[in-house]
Structure 1
Amino acid sequence: VELNCFCWTTSIPNLPEFWHITDLHLDPSYHLAPDPTKVCYSSKGVPATNPGLYGDFLCDSPYRLIESAFTNMASLTQPEDFIIWTGDSPPHVPPDELSTDIVIQVISNMTQTIRQHFPNMTVYPAVGNHDYWPQDQMPDSTNAIYKAAAQFWKPWLQADALLTLSQGGFYSQLAKPGLRVVSVNTILYYGPDKVTRNMTDPAGQFEWLEKTLERAAQNLEKVYIIAHVPVGYLPFVRNTTAIRKSHNERLVTIFRKYSHVIAGHFYGHTHRDSIMVLQDKQGKPVNSLFVSPAVTPIKDAEQSYSNNPSFRMYLYNNKDYTMLDIWQYYLNLTEANEKQRSDWRLEYVMTEAFGLIDLQPQSLLQLGLSFMLPQTKTFHKYFNHFMVSYNNSITCDGGCKVSQVCSVLYLDQLSYSKCAKGAWEH
Structure 2
Amino acid sequence: MGPVGLFPLWVLLSYPDVLLAAPAPPEDAPHHLPEPGRFWHITDLHLDATYHLADDPTKVCFSSKGAPAIKAGIYGDFLCDSPYSLIQSAFTHMSQVTPRADFIIWTGDSPPHVPAGELSTSMVIQLIRNMSETLRDHFPRLPVFPALGNHDYWPQDQMPTSTNAIYQAAAKLWAPWLQDQALSTLREGGFYSQLARPGLRVVSLNTILYYGPDKATANDTDPAGQYRWLEATLDNATQNLEKVFIIAHVPIGYLPFARDITAIRQPHNERLVSIFRKYSHVIAGHFYGHTHRDSLMVLLDPDGEPLSSIFVSPAVTPIKRVLEPYSNNPAFRMYLYHGSDFTPLDIWQYYLNLTEANQRQRADWRREYVMTEAFGLKDLRPQSLLRLALSFQLPRANSFDKYFSHFMVSYDDSIHCAKDCKLSQVCAVLHLDHEAYSQCVGGRGVQDSFALL
Report matched runs for 1:167-182 at 5 Å: 167-182=188-203
Question: Which runs of no fewer than 5 residues in structure 1 stay unpaired?
Answer: 1-9
- 1:39-96 deviations in whole A, cap 9, x for unaligned? 0000000001310000000000000000000000000154551000000000000000
CA drift at 1:372: 1.4
Q: Name the % identity.
A: 70
For 1:250, give the aligned amino acid. Answer: R
RCO comparison, higher one (Cα < 8 Å, 6+)? 2
Report matched runs for 1:265-284 at 5 Å: 265-284=286-305
User: Aligned equivalents of 1:319 and 1:185: distance in 2?
Assistant: 28
Q: Indicate the residue corresponding to 2:428 in structure 1.
A: 407
Q: TM-score, normalised by structure 2?
A: 0.91
**Aligned alpha-carbon RMSD (Å):** 1.2
Is the counterpart of residue 128 in structure 1 residue 149 in structure 2?
yes
Match for 2:261 among 226, 230, 240? Answer: 240
Q: Indicate the residue corresponding to 1:305 in structure 2.
A: 326
User: Aligned equivalents of 1:345 and 1:80: distance in 2?
Assistant: 17
Asked if the contact 1:54–1:337 (Cα under 8 Å) also holds between the matched residues in 2, the reply is yes
Q: Indicate the residue corresponding to 1:143 in structure 2.
A: 164
Asked if the contact 2:48–2:84 (Cα under 8 Å) also holds between the matched residues in 1, the reply is yes
Match for 1:160 among 174, 178, 181? Answer: 181
Asked if the contact 1:49–1:58 (Cα under 8 Å) also holds between the matched residues in 2, the reply is no
SS in 1 for 2:55: coil
Match for 2:437 among 395, 404, 416? Answer: 416
Question: Which runs of no fewer than 5 residues in structure 2 stay unpaired?
Answer: 1-25, 30-34
Match for 1:260 among 262, 268, 281? Answer: 281
Match for 1:17 among 25, 38, 43? Answer: 38
Q: TM-score, normalised by structure 1?
A: 0.96
Deviates more, 1:78-87 or 1:260-269: 78-87
Report matched runs for 1:353-392 at 5 Å: 353-392=374-413
Asked if the contact 2:40–2:101 (Cα under 8 Å) also holds between the matched residues in 1, the reply is no
User: Aligned equivalents of 1:332 and 1:150: distance in 2?
Assistant: 35
Q: Indicate the residue corresponding to 2:313 in structure 1.
A: 292
User: Aligned equivalents of 2:408 and 2:56: distance in 1?
Assistant: 28
Q: Indicate the residue corresponding to 1:73 in structure 2.
A: 94
Is the counterpart of residue 425 in structure 1 residue 450 in structure 2?
yes
Q: Indicate the residue corresponding to 2:217 in structure 1.
A: 196
For 1:270, give the aligned amino acid. Answer: T
Match for 1:116 among 121, 137, 149? Answer: 137
Match for 1:336 among 353, 357, 360? Answer: 357
Report matched runs for 1:387-398 at 5 Å: 387-398=408-419
Asked if the contact 1:49–1:57 (Cα under 8 Å) also holds between the matched residues in 2, the reply is no
User: Aligned equivalents of 2:159 and 2:37: distance in 1?
Assistant: 35
Deviates more, 1:73-82 or 1:128-137: 73-82
Asked if the contact 1:236–1:404 (Cα under 8 Å) also holds between the matched residues in 2, the reply is yes
SS in 1 for 2:450: coil
Match for 2:110 among 76, 81, 89? Answer: 89
- 1:99-119 deviations in whole A, cap 9, x for unaligned? 000000000000000000000
Deviates more, 1:382-391 or 1:75-84: 75-84
User: Aligned equivalents of 2:396 and 2:116: distance in 1?
Assistant: 45
Change in Cα spacing, 1:100 to 1:404, as seen in structure 2 (3 Å) is same
Q: Indicate the residue corresponding to 1:7 in structure 2.
A: none
SS in 2 for 1:320: coil
User: Aligned equivalents of 2:422 and 2:275: distance in 1?
Assistant: 29
Give the total of aligned pairs. Answer: 416
- 1:161-186 deviations in whole A, cap 9, x for unaligned? 00000100000001111000000000
CA drift at 1:325: 0.2
Change in Cα spacing, 1:78 to 1:355, as seen in structure 2 (3 Å) is closer
Superposed structure 1 runs of 4+ greater than 6 Å apart:
none
